[in-house]
Amino acid sequence: MDIFRIEGPVQFSGSVSINGSKNASLPIMAAAILAAGKSVIKAVPHLSDISVFSRLLGRLGCKVTRSRNGDLCIDSTVVDNPIGEYEIVRRMRASICILGPLLARCGRAEVSMPGGCAIGDRPVDIHLRGLRELGAKIHLKNGYIVAEAPHGLTGKDIFMGGPFGSTVLGTANVLMAATLAKGKTIIESAACEPEVADLANCLNKMGAKITGIGSPRLTIEGVRQLQPAEHQVIPDRIEAGTFMAAAAITASELRIQNCRFDDMMAVVDRLRNIGVTVDAANNGCVVTRSGSIKPADITTQPYPGFPTDLQAQFMTLLSLAEGNSVVIEKVFPDRFMHVAELNRMAANLRKEGPTVIVAGVKKLIAAPVMASDLRASAALVLAGLAAEGTTTIQRVYHIDRGYEKIEERLNPLGAKITRQSI
């Protein structure tokens, strides 16, 4: 098992380029199931989640390879084992994305109930409700979702809203299934995240007929078949937001390249409110902090609101603000495993239900801490960069799920991060 040792505090200078989006790549990889033949997906990051999903596709019958230039090639000529096995699916929630395309192509799918990060209950009932509306018969058996549509799926008007807003993976699942359904499907209260739009754009390259992309109403005219396609995934806005917060917490100036500024407006708004300068630049932005960190209130919401995947990182940033801040989690109300670990580093955080009161402190102090999930691990890295002393972070395999070789990318900028095996 690897650990990080981080010496702080540090300051950054230079530029960093953002990789392709993990959250866009995984559903697009699943979409390759829909079209027999070889699809090519560009800018897919080298992450453990991508490797796990590639292995999952391989179990279905697909052949997944990386070309010399890094493109991911998925040959789905054969999909003869439509089963998402527990051994793999338990490791990553995004595995549920194979359910819709398997059902549409094979008429049947068996997928284990998914696992993933420990950030609270994330039911898939909206996924199943949407697929049932398309005509699938679904039941649970021994921890597996068994979905059947031997005579195909039929388009329908479907409302996809839930108690915490729209569902990204649920929208993706139903969207993919609807591309091969008979007739027209309308998904109302569809997730508007850029990653969903990227999936829809990829599906249209494959021959789907999807309109309303980027809006809460998606219209899909079913087609008889899809063809393999070549597609480049969008930059990872969560990675971009994490590096923006890294520049802010270290009082640095950092150029963020390959960043879609228009996807980041909620994040940019909070940074500017905190006292950080964010200027749009060619193909990215420049983030600078020279003064103190101001307190602010943050409420996570579905896109275009503030992303839940940046809540932990910004809580770390606000822990050094001059005053009190409030962070409210409205997407995953239990996503606060990082609070206790940050308090070990002398932060002053108090959790009250889905809210954390952040009382700013003058400095963070290094301590041994443990990562509990992907974004919590990123928050602890940020804390280590700003803290006095040497911070040790255990279970950094979590960060490898979503950040490609983060230490090798931050060290040239001024970080002092050492990966060690224990």
By C-alpha distance, which of 354, 421, 416 is closest to 381?
A: 416
By C-alpha distance, which of 54, 51, 47, 55 is closest to 22?
A: 47
Structural tokens at position 391? 């911070």
**Domains identified in the chain, total number:** 2
Are 373 and 389 within one domain?
yes
Are 136 and 177 within one domain?
yes
pLDDT value of residue 58: 97
Are 8 and 53 within one domain?
no
Are 197 and 332 within one domain?
no
* Residue 42, SS3 per DSSP: strand
Are 86 and 100 within one domain?
yes
Structural tokens at position 84? 């998402």
Alpha-carbon separation of residue 182 from 151, 206, 221 (angstroms): 10, 17, 8
Structural domain that includes position 154: 22-232
Are 410 and 261 within one domain?
yes
Q: What is the DSSP letter of 323?
A: S
Are 120 and 146 within one domain?
yes
Are 337 and 299 within one domain?
yes
Q: Which residues pair with 69 in a beta bridge?
A: none
Q: Which of 201, 232, 263 is the last residue of a domain?
A: 232
Are 165 and 185 within one domain?
yes
Spatial distance between the Cα atoms of 254 and 275, rounded to a whole number of angstroms: 15
pLDDT value of residue 119: 41
The CATH number assigned to the domain holding 416 equals 3.65.10.10
Q: Which of 232, 265, 283 is the last residue of a domain?
A: 232
- Decide: residue 80, CB within 10 A, 0-12 exposed, 13-18 middle, 19+ buried: exposed
pLDDT of the chain along its 422 residues, tens only? 899 999 999 999 999 999 999 999 999 999 999 999 999 999 999 999 999 999 999 999 999 999 989 999 999 999 999 999 999 998 888 999 999 999 999 999 999 988 544 444 456 889 999 999 999 999 999 989 999 999 999 999 999 998 878 899 999 999 999 999 999 999 999 999 999 999 999 999 999 999 999 999 999 999 999 999 999 999 999 999 999 999 999 999 999 999 999 999 999 999 999 999 999 999 999 999 999 999 999 999 999 999 999 999 999 999 999 999 999 999 988 899 999 999 999 999 999 999 999 999 999 999 999 999 999 999 999 999 999 999 999 999 999 999 999 999 999 999 999 999 98
Q: Which residues pair with 75 in a beta bridge?
A: 38, 63
- List, by residue number, the catalytic residues: 117
Alpha-carbon separation of residue 371 from 69, 361, 378, 400, 421 (angstroms): 32, 22, 8, 11, 16
pLDDT value of residue 1: 86
Are 243 and 226 within one domain?
no
Which residues fall within 8 angstroms of residue 418, CB to CB, at 6 or more apart? Answer: 4, 5, 6, 407
Are 183 and 247 within one domain?
no
Q: Which of 232, 263, 298 is the last residue of a domain?
A: 232
Are 26 and 164 within one domain?
yes
